[in-house]
Structures are given as C-alpha cells and as structure tokens.
Structure 1
Amino acid sequence: MNIISANLNFILLDVIDQKNSSGLKLKLTHTNHFPRKLKPKEFKNFELKLIGIEKKTKLKTELKKFTDNYLDIEEIENGILDFWSDSYQIGEFKVDSFVENVSELTKEDWIDNYQNLLNFYYKQNDEKTKESILQTKFLDRLKKLTEEEIKKYERKSEFFKDDEDKINALNERMNLANRIEQIRQQFISELKNIE
C-alpha cells in the first residue's frame, strides 16, 4: 500500500526529526475516527521516512503546522515531493529517497490511538462547553434587552399617550422586542428537544 501518490486521505499524527541526519519520519493514519464497531484489521500503522531532504528545517516547520490535519503527498518528478493539506499547498521539497512502511498496529500504537481519541473527545467537549456558555450569555442578553424595551415602552407610552406618531413608533419597537422574545423562546424550546 502506497503513502505517496495514494488515493487515501492521510492524517499527519507526528513529525519526528531523525537526529544527526537530513531525514524526517512522518507518522500517519488513514482514518480520522474510530467506528462504532471496531474492526482492528482496518487500521494500519503508516510511516514515511524521508531521506536527504534539501530544506529539512523548512519542511519540518511547515509540516508541524498541519499535525492532526489531512496530508496528501504527490511525487511530481523524481526526487521532488509536493505536500498538500486539503486544498492548501504546503510546498514542494526535494528528497534523495523515501521509504514507506505499512504495518499492523502494535499495542503501543493502539494506546497512542486511544490517547488521540481521548484528546479529540475532550477537545470537542471543551468546545461544546464554550458554545453552551456563549449560548446562555447570548440568550440572557436577549432576555434583558426585551425586558428593558418593555419597561421603556411602559414609561414612554404613558408620557406620549396623546402623540399618535410617537405611540406608533413605540409600538413598532415593542413589536420587534416581542418578535425577538418569541425567537428566543423558540430557540430554547428547540434546544430542549435535541437528544
């Protein structure tokens, strides 16, 4: 199974700098999730060793930016590799050679994958918590805005009770405040119905 010029979407897990050499080792996976029903044979350990990289430091720096993102590598001509993440071109780099290793997952690989899954889960959980806090703040602000508009309406409508134009303008503002409150209530109701 090929890594370079493959039809698989790989995700870059790690960029390992091979000390005292002009090479890098890339750890990759071809799946970005664990299915509900685990099929261990579908998971492989992908490693790409790049040997004799002309601009090793630049490639390492650029690839580190795309850890946990998609990575696609094409060989455009002998010794020149073109690195992409989704539709973003990371760059073209000259290498003397490369070695592709595809192997069964070891116990350590499964532990690493489990840790990656936990990291992903808690990152998602943290994002949901932040979203929930923002939603609550937003809904509270809308409620306060509506309450303030009602108080203003009550005070001003009493003061301008003989001025029809002012009353009509106040009624329009009150109708808008009521509409905002209806949307807020509808949103809260829909949130409660999400399972």
Structure 2
Amino acid sequence: MSLKNMFSCPFLQRMNAYISKLTWADGSCSDMFCFLNAYKVYEEAHRTGRFKRSVNLGERNWANCFFIQLNTMKDLKSLVDELKTRLKNLGIEEILGHDRVHWAEEELPLVLKVVIAGAYYPNYFVRGASGGQIDEQEAVKQVMGRDPYSTVYLSNFPMNQPGELYAQSIKRVLNVCAPKMQVFFDGSR
C-alpha cells in the first residue's frame, strides 16, 4: 500500500478498467485483496516462466490487457523480495513442507482481514477526515476495556444468530497461529 496505484484507468476505457479491477478483487470489495490477487498472478507467471514462453502474452501485453501499470508491479515485486530478504536475515522464513499451515479457501480471507486490521491498528481509531488525533479512551472503550495494542475488534455480526458460534469458529480458524488467543463476543461484536 506504500506504492502508487498499480491499476491504470485510461480515459476512454474507464469502465473496462473498473471491471478488470473488480475481477481482481474477487468479490472482496477491497483494494488490498485486489492488489494481492494481481500480484500473486504476476509473481506466479514470473516464477513459472510463463511470460518468457508466451509470444502473445508477454509481460507488457499481460499488463495492458488487465490495466496494470507494469512499472508499479515491478516495484512491488522488488519491495516484496526486499522484505523477504530482511525477514530471512532476522530468522523469519516461510515454513515449507508438511509442517506448513494450510488454510481452507473460505478461511483465508478472514485470516487476511484480521492480519490487515492488526497491521493498521491504531489507525482505525483516528477521527476526522483530516486524520486527527487518536482518541485513546475511545479505542479502549471500543475494545471493551482490553488492551488496544493486542486486541482485534470485529463488528457487524448478525444479531439474530448465537454469537458463541462465531467466537468458536474464529478461535478454531486462528488457533494455528495464536493458540492462547481469547475470543469474546458481545452482541454484534
């Protein structure tokens, strides 16, 4: 999200560009998922050599076809590679093989949303269009008196369904990465 928008929007093709972006978003209504999905396809094509093998669908043609700014995508790939190198130097590496955590297709979007929410905290509690000061009291109130630095707050669950089912499902999904995590449900949050 620190790079400029990777999608182009040519004046005479705005609707086609918008449709392409919606396709990348895959029903998530999220720019982050849109960028992630486009990057995954780009990275996979590079890793497998698809751009080099295809005469008609080279890197530039692929980018033009899907309204992607190729230079921004290359900058993103460079940034991801740099971050992987830094993490490796800190001893943090991706787990491969049978010990790797495998998320079910329906679980992964929830896990990613929770990770994104945690990554952007405390910016969710910034008030005002101009990005005013963080209201720490309001943040503590929102997370029901818990530590706002170690709490993820989810809301808008259906009121007519038992909340404990959601709490159990969230704990089961996230148990792999946070076995001591506590999940509380209060009304619709």
TM range (shorter): under 0.3
- Between Structure 1 and Structure 2, whose CA radius of gyration is higher? 1
TM-score, normalised via structure 1 length: 0.24
> Relative contact order: is structure 1 or structure 2 higher (C-alpha 8 Å, sep ≥ 6)?
1
TM-score, normalised via structure 2 length: 0.25
Structure with the bigger percentage of strand: 1
